[in-house]
Amino acid sequence: MKKSLLCMALVLTALAFISAANSETSTEETVLLANAKANTPLRFEVTVAAGLLEPAQNGRLFVLVSRRAVGEPRLAVGDTGLDAPPLFAKDVNHFSTNSTAVIDETASAFPLKNLSQLEAGDYFIQALFDFNIDVKSINAEGNLYSTVQKAHLDPHQGGTIKLSLTQKVPPEKLPADSESVKFVKLKSPRLSKFHGRDIYLRAGLILPKDFAKDSSRHYPLRVYIGGYGSRYTGAQRMFESAEFKSAWAADDAPRMIVLHLDGDGPYGDCYQVNSDNNGPYGDAITQELIPYIEQKFRGIGAPYARVVDGGSTGGWVSLALQVFYPDFFNGTWSYCPDGVDFRGFQLINIYQDKNAYVNQYGFERPSERDTNGEVRFTIRHECQLENVLGAGDSWAMSGEQWGAWNAVYGPRGADGRPKPLWNPQTGVIDKTVIEHWQKYDLRLVMQANWPQLAPKLKGKLHIWVGDADNYFLNNAVHLLDEFLSKANPAAEAEIFYGAGQGHCWLGLTQRQMMEEMAAAIEIAKPKS
């Protein structure tokens, strides 16, 4: 810190500021008093308004600062890149209305190394306390946050900024149903038993045209999974999208029910499969949610009449559900799937590589590129963000992409948390967890169990990927293709590559996909 010869009082006048339309609260006009003592390091003191945190809770405290005069900084958490709004975080235990928590230079930081690197200037500041253990989003129900305040921050001048958590994220409320779109929240006995508290499955439904006009008709079920963290409420946006709605409403379109699964859970996206950390999501989906939906909304309720599809996260999930429950589904339409072969876990070969952040040549591994090959950010950079978001300064507890993968594929550690595949700071891979990860390497699972799986998966696998996928997911698809193309008995799988195409390329329209699904259902339909 630079020394100053004079003590200085810094008073900031009240500034009015209007949040963006999607902000949940308006910005409060405030006067902030920076600590008048010279040489006092910059810090934030955070307290809780009376009655908002009783009893005391353990959680993760964040201070978010942004140059942007629009919106709330808390809503930008998750942004990557060197120009992402800075955020600072630390674990806080037994936090209540009677305590004060401090964020200073010792706090974990992104994209900076620490608070002292913050560039001097005017910032919009917000604090947030995350203690919701059921939905891994810092803006989850019940979490507390402050109003947005404006102040001039300068680590060289120091000072104390006081913030009060006065707001609470409101309780979840299911969207209103319409004639075509319905929403469901169902308590899961299996997941509740696993976690020792009530856990709910949520879903959105799109009903076929003229569903209400013929109460005797039963329909096939299309299970859809969106990209990372896609919530069940996305069913409404899916229904309203021009391409889908046009295909869905056509008089000659195949009639089926769409079940839109929910992509949030205790450690981020649960990936809809059984795991040591998330619990038996796969069994809950197939044995609780789907039977309930088929019974309540007139599904056919038979394996031949169930298909599954999705992209990115949903691409992996749709393929995994077909592989792990081969007798339950009648085909998967999977596009740009997350790593389906862990020799190509993005650019990491978990079986051979020693470090996730640095490749065998000593260079930083990219995590995202554009379709021209330019690197947007590295795995280390992305995990630095996740280390700030995660309890214990670990990406394994972040609730973001790498943390969610690790929670799904990895074992539970002695501390009760997901055991990280690699060291959060160094990237050194822990080979002791590899055996557990093999259970979710879809190529390996199929190869090891092909004599049993072959007759159940024959002709059911349909996969698309762009050969310039932004996250290098095409590499793993090629590795899977090497196995499936030579498998004996024959897989009769379809795998399509889009030359020069990036993430989420899909080589067919919604109408074409629906027609392929309907054809597969008709072929497998029992003959009367």
List pLDDT tens digits, range 402-433.
Answer: 999 999 999 999 999 999 999 999 999 999 99
Rg (CA), the chain: 25
Q: How confident is the model at residue 307 (pLDDT cuts 50, 70, 90)?
A: very high
φ, ψ dihedrals at 357, nearest 5°: -90, -30
Q: Specify the higher pLDDT residue, 5 or 111.
A: 111
Distance, CA of 291 to CA of 285 (rounded, Å)? 9
Kindly state whether residue 176 falls inside one of the protein's structural domains.
no
Flag whether pLDDT at 25 surpasses 60.
no
Flag whether pLDDT at 165 surpasses 60.
yes
Statement to judge: residues 514 and 472 lie in one domain: yes
Kindly state whether residue 5 falls inside one of the protein's structural domains.
no
Query: What confidence tens digit (pLDDT) does each residue in 477-487 have?
Result: 999 999 999 99
Among 476, 481, 471, smallest CA distance to 371 is for: 471
Q: How many domains does the chain have?
A: 3
Query: What confidence tens digit (pLDDT) does each residue in 141-157 have?
Result: 999 999 999 999 999 99
Statement to judge: residues 31 and 130 lie in one domain: yes
pLDDT at 138: 86
Statement to judge: residues 458 and 396 lie in one domain: no
Average pLDDT, the chain: 92
Least confident segment among 18-27, 51-60, 509-518: 18-27
Statement to judge: residues 430 and 504 lie in one domain: no
Least confident segment among 31-40, 94-103, 356-365: 31-40
Q: Which residues contact 113 (CB under 8 A, 6 or more apart)?
A: none
Q: How confident is the model at residue 39 (pLDDT cuts 50, 70, 90)?
A: low
Percent residues over pLDDT 70 in the chain: 93
pLDDT at 5: 31
- Quick one: DSSP state of residue 238? H
Q: Specify the higher pLDDT residue, 497 or 69.
A: 497
Statement to judge: residues 484 and 429 lie in one domain: no
Distance, CA of 472 to CA of 336 (rounded, Å)? 10
Statement to judge: residues 221 and 270 lie in one domain: yes
Distance, CA of 331 to CA of 321 (rounded, Å)? 10
Which of 168, 189, 209 is the endpoint of a domain? 168
Q: How confident is the model at residue 70 (pLDDT cuts 50, 70, 90)?
A: confident
Q: How confident is the model at residue 377 (pLDDT cuts 50, 70, 90)?
A: very high
CATH number at residue 299: 3.40.50.1820
Flag whether pLDDT at 247 surpasses 90.
yes
pLDDT at 293: 98
Flag whether pLDDT at 11 surpasses 70.
no
Strand order in the sheet with 160-165: 101-103, 43-48, 160-165
Q: How confident is the model at residue 230 (pLDDT cuts 50, 70, 90)?
A: very high
Query: What confidence tens digit (pLDDT) does each residue in 442-474 have?
Result: 999 999 999 999 999 999 999 999 999 999 999
Which of 108, 133, 168 is the endpoint of a domain? 168
Domain that holds residue 54: 10-168
Q: Is the dihedral of CA 312, 314, 316, 319 positive or negative?
A: negative
Statement to judge: residues 162 and 54 lie in one domain: yes
Query: What confidence tens digit (pLDDT) does each residue in 183-206 have?
Result: 999 999 999 999 999 999 999 999
Which of 413, 439, 465 is the endpoint of a domain? 439
